Amino acid sequence: MQQLFTTLLTGLTLGMVYAAFALALVLIWRATRIVNFAQAPMAMLTTYVALVLIEAGYSYWLGFAAALLSGLVLGALVERFVIRYVDPRSEINPVILTLGLFIVLHALAALVFGARYRSFPAPFGLRGFQVGDTTIALTGFGIFTILSVLAVVVLLVLLFRYTDVGLKMRASAFNQEVARLLGVRVGRMLTLGWALAAVVGSLSGLLIAGGGLVHPSFMDGVVVYGFVAAVLGGLDSPVGAVAGGLILGLSLSLVSGYVGSQLVSLAALAILMAVLLVRPGGLFARVRERRV
């Protein structure tokens, strides 16, 4: 019982991080039909920005804010000056481009920040709370992880549902031509979409790094789990991405706790294949479009 509880709490925390990363992938996929493999090194770079500031003596929170802000800028720059120039009709060009970006950003980080492991601080405790004489697997940083991802999800929902700019972003994502004819500056909306996605990606980078080690490939494993989570949720749905992240986090934690931690990657692959076989549109695929 105690072990199940611990496993579930670990899974929940992990799932929230996957959810954030999946959300970043989904935001970009929805707007530009591109799986942004470069999301991992982008988040890695912005985490380094935080680390450099923190090591220079600034507070954790200043580093945290600077990382999110540099994510915003980096995402906008990548869209405006790289992605904007790929032929949108090509299926493979954007993929190659984001993989190329992946490699370039890696090299850049190794060059600027060095390839060694550096430890990254956490703003809250990393030890489980004590209840009586048992320790719960939920740490202060774990709670912060869950709450910060929840906050981002709520903010994004509010933005998309209730603001004019959110409506324009959704219109641009769903039908560029119609949006343009209605006067929406689609290019700006795509830039903004990439920028916001990179902020969410940066958050996941900070959450993974907290209390752990940072090096140029520290996010590379997350891109795989984030991608699986996004596919679980149907790639098109932000809510699906969050649910997919949670399902994946919980399942992998159960596998790790009860079967064996060496089977975790294999389990992720098995879940991905099972979903693609049974529900290729994701677990939350919408009902079919009505034909008229």
Residues that bind other proteins (CB under 8 A): 164, 167-168, 170-171, 174-175, 177-186, 289-290, 292
Task: Kindly state the smallest distance separating residue 31's Cβ from other proteins, in Å.
Answer: 12
* Contact assessment for residue 11 and residue 268, using Cβ atoms and an 8 Å cutoff: no
- Which residue lies nearer to other proteins by CB, 84 or 118? 84
CB 185, min distance to other proteins, A: 5
For the bound state, the minimum distance from the C-beta of residue 179 to other proteins, rounded and expressed in Å, comes to 8
Shortest Å, Cβ 167 to other proteins: 6
Closest by Cα among 268, 39, 56, 16 to 139: 16
Strand partners, 135: 130
Comparing CB distances to other proteins, the nearer of 135 and 175 is 175
Nearer to other proteins, 179 or 214 (CB): 179
Name which of 92 and 287 has its Cβ closer to other proteins: 287
CB of 287 to other proteins, least distance (A): 9
State both tokens at 189: 């909306």
Residue 144 to residue 125: CA distance in whole angstroms:
10
- Between 152 and 169, name the residue whose CB sits nearer to other proteins: 169
Buried b (16+ CB within 10 A) or exposed e, 8-31: bbbbbbbbbbbbbbbbbbbbbbbb
Burial class (CB in 10 A: 0-12, 13-18, 19+), 265: middle
Longest dimension (CA), the chain: 65
With residue 130 as reference, give the H or E element that holds it: strand 128-131
In the complex, the smallest distance separating the C-beta of residue 166 from other proteins, rounded to whole angstroms, is 10
Pairwise CA distance, residues 23 & 198, whole Å = 10
Q: Select 27 or 184, whichever has its Cβ closest to other proteins.
A: 184
